[in-house]
């Protein structure tokens, strides 16, 4: 992140009112730059299916406004709203806490009672961090449990949604649903390592899953090209207690990894916690289970299950929000965005706290206060997985301008993919590599980008471009052309 760009973004504080006035009086339907119009024509995308806006951050002038006031499906650009609100309301140093309570009598390393694992909404409770937490429990004196490990996941109250409801792809990791105890994004990684001498590829899985039998190897296929290797292994992933491979793995592929969601997400945390506890030598006479409704109510009141003071309490903080925001925006992580969204929902009135409705209310209230005069967005779940979310390019430009002049410009800018350099923009707009910082958005019939660009002339711009059309994926070249035009011309 060039210091010059961040410094320049902060300088627009003095021209904020002028920029807001310029937005409200922006010219409708400006002519598109020829390179952008030509790219849309090649993609067979009509100009009426796109919205483009460019704002000069130094002067506060709108340089391009093509259908900027139209409400569009922004796909993952909506994460800019979620993460901006979180930085503003929670602060970049905000952390989530996962709590362990040893409830009972601890004697000689044996807990005569239950161990409670309370989810605090951590967006990135990956297997390594959960493993370290359980190791800390054992290091604190709990070697064996004569009772159960009880999972408390009641902080968030998401609607009952099946992972495949959005697009019929329940095993895609991006479809994981939010959870107060979100373990490893409810996904596993299968790794295939060829052993030519044994004519097989070894299969390993992370994290381990208690009660799930996974084929330890798959026969090798020799003399074949490494093309659609996932189809070649003929994986059977729809059985909760068994993962099988009925095909062959191409030896030419070398070692490959396959991230996939677990078919029974409601039991994922239970299986992982049990497997990790036992693999670290922990004894367990009972089972790992969800807290019952009466137990969950008791825990919500701050009382232990036994009514006595817990003999052990450990609080494990998450990574800070500033780092979480980087994962969300650079890699467009949907479930992490929803974790942040539901966290904001905890600030709603008690009846709506931790719900999707509460999160929407909090974000819309924030929008009204921070974005006066901007059209209200239509919100759904805070991530890009929605067919109903809507926002205008003008509102996004206004958001980018206001965040750039605010106290959290640095963490937001650091979270955006760099054109031609990293994350979702690594292979895009390479001709202006390192000169644009852009969040991407992609859905069926949606392609979008939004962020900041520094022109060769030295001028700085906020840029938004959204296409809603059946040929949207082909129209991606028009979005990149807009960025390249802004950077290389400097005077749109």
- Structure confidence by residue, pLDDT tens digits, 225-235: 999 999 999 99
Measured distance CA(492)–CA(479) in Å, rounded:
15
- Token pair of 141, please? 């004196």
Decide if pLDDT at 438 tops 90: yes
In this predicted structure, what is the pLDDT of residue 273?
A: 98
Sign of the alpha-carbon torsion through 318, 321, 327, 332: positive
Q: Which fold has domain 3-93+322-489?
A: Beta-lactamase (3.40.710)
Decide if pLDDT at 4 tops 80: no
Measured distance CA(146)–CA(235) in Å, rounded:
38
In this predicted structure, what is the pLDDT of residue 377?
A: 96
User: Which residues fall within 8 angstroms of residue 419, CB to CB, at 6 or more apart?
Assistant: 425, 428, 429, 430, 432, 433, 434, 435, 436, 437, 438, 483
Measured distance CA(439)–CA(241) in Å, rounded:
39
301 — pLDDT class (breaks 50, 70, 90): confident
Would you state the torsion angle of the CA atoms of residues 126, 131, 136, 137, taken in this order, to the nearest 10 degrees?
110
Decide if pLDDT at 6 tops 50: no
Give the pLDDT mean for 90-97.
98
Measured distance CA(478)–CA(40) in Å, rounded:
6
Give the pLDDT mean for 184-207.
97
Measured distance CA(122)–CA(179) in Å, rounded:
9
Give the pLDDT mean for 331-352.
97
In this predicted structure, what is the pLDDT of residue 24?
A: 40
User: Which residues fall within 8 angstroms of residue 134, CB to CB, at 6 or more apart?
Assistant: 273, 276, 277, 280, 282
Measured distance CA(382)–CA(375) in Å, rounded:
17
Give the pLDDT mean for 340-346.
98
Measured distance CA(94)–CA(183) in Å, rounded:
20
Whether the Cβ atoms of residue 485 and residue 430 lie closer than 8 Å to each other? no
Give the pLDDT mean for 371-380.
92
In this predicted structure, what is the pLDDT of residue 20?
A: 40
User: Which residues fall within 8 angstroms of residue 287, CB to CB, at 6 or more apart?
Assistant: 148, 149, 274
Query: Alpha carbon 289 to chain centroid distance?
Result: 27
Ramachandran assignment for 177, one of left (phi > 0), alpha (psi -120 to 50 degrees), beta (any other): beta
29 — pLDDT class (breaks 50, 70, 90): low
- Token pair of 362, please? 């909090």
pLDDT tens-place string over residues 197-222? 999 999 999 999 999 999 999 999 99
Report the 3 state secondary structure along 331-363: HCCHHHHHHHHHHHHCCCCHHHCCCHHHHHHHH
Q: Residues spanned by CATH 3.40.710.10 within the chain?
A: 3-93+322-489
In this predicted structure, what is the pLDDT of residue 15?
A: 37
In this predicted structure, what is the pLDDT of residue 302?
A: 82
Weakest-pLDDT range from 12-16, 127-131, 159-163, 247-251: 12-16
491 — pLDDT class (breaks 50, 70, 90): low
* Closest to 64 measured CA to CA, from 90, 115, 27: 27
Share of the chain above pLDDT 70, in %: 93
In this predicted structure, what is the pLDDT of residue 490?
A: 61
223 — pLDDT class (breaks 50, 70, 90): confident
Decide if pLDDT at 18 tops 50: no
pLDDT tens-place string over residues 33-81? 999 999 999 999 999 999 999 999 989 999 999 999 999 999 999 999 9
In this predicted structure, what is the pLDDT of residue 14?
A: 33
- Which contiguous run of DSSP H or E holds residue 105? strand 97-107
Whether the Cβ atoms of residue 186 and residue 215 lie closer than 8 Å to each other? no
In this predicted structure, what is the pLDDT of residue 253?
A: 96
The secondary structure of the chain in percent helix, strand, coil, rounded to multiples of 5, reads 35, 25, 40
Give the pLDDT mean for 10-23.
38
| Residue in the structure block whose two tokens are 């895609």 | 172
């Amino acid at each position: 992140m060039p210091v010059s760009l961040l410094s320049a973004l902060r300088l627009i504080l003095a021209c904020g009112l002028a920029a807001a006035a310029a937005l409200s009086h922006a010219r409708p339907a400006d002519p598109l730059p020829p390179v952008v119009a030509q790219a849309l024509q090649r993609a067979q995308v009509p100009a009426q299916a796109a919205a483009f806006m460019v704002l000069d951050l130094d002067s506060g002038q709108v340089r391009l406004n093509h259908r900027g006031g139209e409400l569009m499906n922004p796909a993952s650009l909506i994460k800019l709203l979620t993460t901006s609100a979180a930085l503003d309301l929670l602060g970049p140093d905000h952390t989530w806490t996962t709590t362990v309570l040893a409830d009972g009598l601890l004697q000689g390393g044996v807990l005569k009672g239950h161990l409670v694992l309370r989810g605090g909404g951590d967006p990135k409770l990956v297997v390594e961090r959960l493993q370290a937490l359980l190791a800390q429990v054992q290091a604190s004196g709990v070697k064996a449990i004569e009772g159960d490990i009880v999972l408390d996941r009641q902080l968030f109250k998401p609607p009952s949604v099946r992972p495949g409801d959005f697009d019929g792809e329940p095993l895609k990791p991006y479809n994981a649903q939010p959870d107060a105890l979100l373990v490893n994004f409810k996904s596993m990684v299968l790794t295939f390592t060829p052993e030519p001498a044994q004519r097989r590829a070894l299969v390993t899985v992370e994290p381990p899953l208690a009660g799930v039998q996974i084929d330890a190897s798959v026969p090798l296929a020799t003399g074949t090209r490494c093309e659609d290797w996932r189809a070649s292994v003929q994986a059977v992933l729809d059985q909760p207690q068994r993962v099988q491979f009925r095909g062959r793995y191409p030896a030419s592929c070398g070692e490959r990894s396959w991230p996939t969601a677990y078919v029974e997400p409601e039991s994922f945390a239970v299986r992982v916690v049990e497997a990790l506890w036992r693999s670290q030598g922990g004894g367990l006479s009972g089972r790992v289970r969800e807290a019952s409704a009466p137990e969950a109510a008791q825990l919500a009141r701050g009382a232990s299950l036994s009514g006595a003071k817990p003999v052990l309490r450990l609080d494990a903080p998450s990574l800070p929000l500033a780092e979480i925001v980087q994962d969300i925006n650079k890699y467009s992580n949907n479930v992490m965005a929803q974790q942040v969204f539901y966290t904001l929902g905890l600030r709603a009135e008690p009846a709506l706290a931790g719900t999707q409705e509460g999160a929407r209310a909090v974000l819309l209230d924030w929008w009204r206060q921070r974005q006066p005069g901007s059209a209200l967005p239509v919100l759904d779940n805070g991530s890009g997985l929605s067919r109903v979310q809507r926002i205008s390019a003008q509102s996004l430009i206004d958001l980018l301008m206001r965040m750039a002049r605010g106290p959290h410009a640095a963490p937001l800018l650091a979270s955006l993919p760099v054109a031609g350099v990293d994350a979702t923009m690594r292979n895009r707009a390479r001709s202006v590599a390192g000169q644009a910082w852009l969040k991407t958005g992609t859905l069926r019939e949606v392609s979008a980008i939004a962020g900041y660009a520094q022109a060769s002339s030295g001028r700085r711009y906020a840029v938004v471009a959204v296409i809603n059309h059946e040929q949207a994926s082909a129209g991606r070249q028009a979005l990149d052309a807009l960025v390249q035009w802004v950077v290389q011309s400097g005077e749109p």
